[in-house]
Amino acid sequence: MRHYLGSLIMISVMLTSCAVHDGAPDGFNPDPSKIRNAKPANEPLSRYGNPPSYTVNGQTYQVLKSSEGFVQRGEASWYGTKFHGKNTSSGEPYDMYAMTAAHKTLPLPTYVEVMRTDTGQKLIVKVNDRGPFHDGRIIDLSYAAAHKLGIAGSGTAPVEIRAIDTSGLDLNTSGVLLPPAENGDGIIHVQVAAMGSEQAAEDLASSLRAKQFNSVRILMTKDNGKKLYRVRIGPIPNTDLAYQVLADLKHIGMEAARVVVD
């Protein structure tokens, strides 16, 4: 069991290990250096997941009012396919491809730097969930974050985590620069190509699906009366994942691919 609904909040309950019932997604093996860190943002506290305290498996945890100056050492673990798409404690869907994490007491959300103390590798994640409820483990990384940190195979690693002060950032801004939106609906896609031939678009879409790209779609539009077939991947839930998909496409030679918001 990973999540349950408390009064007005959702609290996730972590399995004692990710070896049973959970796992890694098929076909996800990007260059870790191509996986982008979460972009720290000054966000308001979530309506969910921030009670003064909560109890899991008979143990009560006190939620911190502030993450200022927070530093902690312990063991990191990860969670993956079993919880993908399910609600986190903050109410956001868990996305194993995004740079997120779970922590027992930090305010949701908090951005933290995670450093492996055995190798010095570092990354940044957004804490938007509760867990891991296992002795000695202090943070539960998304699968993408675990892959970037090099612990997807071993399952755990010693880490130090430091909360990032985002108070100096503009509220709700993240520093992620998106291309100009084609309109204001805010749905994120990666556009691979725009083609005048429907058959060519279908052939490209089939090729992408064969290379294990998911959610490949063809959108037909008109430009000066001529039909244009846009081959797109998405919708994609967040910009970090969109730019990860973009990097994967460029790795196979799709240099014209770009992130679009429409």
pLDDT in tens, 232-254: 998 887 776 777 788 888 888 88
Q: Where in the chain is the domain with CATH 3.30.70.1070?
A: 188-261
Q: Where in the chain is the domain with CATH 2.40.40.10?
A: 3-163
Please compute the mean of the pLDDT values over residues 179-202 and round it to a whole number: 74
Tokens 């460029």 correspond to 250
pLDDT in tens, 13-34: 333 333 346 888 887 888 888 8
Residue 168, pLDDT score: 63
On whether the 188-261 domain is CATH 3.90.550.50, my answer is no
Spatial separation of the C-alpha atoms in residues 207 and 201, rounded to whole Å: 10
pLDDT tier at 256 (50, 70, 90 boundaries)? confident
Q: Which among 130, 109, 118, 144 is positioned nearest to 31, based on CA atoms?
A: 144
Q: Taking 70 as the threshold, does the pLDDT of residue 36 lie above it?
A: yes
pLDDT tier at 2 (50, 70, 90 boundaries)? very low
Residue 234, pLDDT score: 87
The residues with which 27 forms a beta bridge, in sequence order, are none
**Which helix (H) or strand (E) covers residue 209, if one does?**
helix 198-210
pLDDT tier at 172 (50, 70, 90 boundaries)? very low
Greater model confidence, 3 or 159: 159
Which parts of the chain are beta strand (E)? 3-5, 10-12, 53-56, 59-62, 71-79, 100-102, 110-116, 122-129, 137-142, 157-163, 188-195, 216-223, 226-236, 258-261
Residue 53, pLDDT score: 96
CB contact set of 199 (below 8 Å; sequence gap of 6+): none
Residue 78, pLDDT score: 96
Judged by average pLDDT, the poorest of 38-52, 73-87, 162-176 is: 162-176
The chain-wide mean pLDDT, for the chain, equals 83
Structure token digits, residue 52: 């003064």
Residue 67, pLDDT score: 95
Spatial separation of the C-alpha atoms in residues 210 and 8, rounded to whole Å: 44
Please compute the mean of the pLDDT values over residues 204-208 and round it to a whole number: 93
Spatial separation of the C-alpha atoms in residues 115 and 136, rounded to whole Å: 16
Q: Taking 50 as the threshold, does the pLDDT of residue 105 lie above it?
A: yes
Q: What CATH class is the domain 3-163?
A: mainly beta
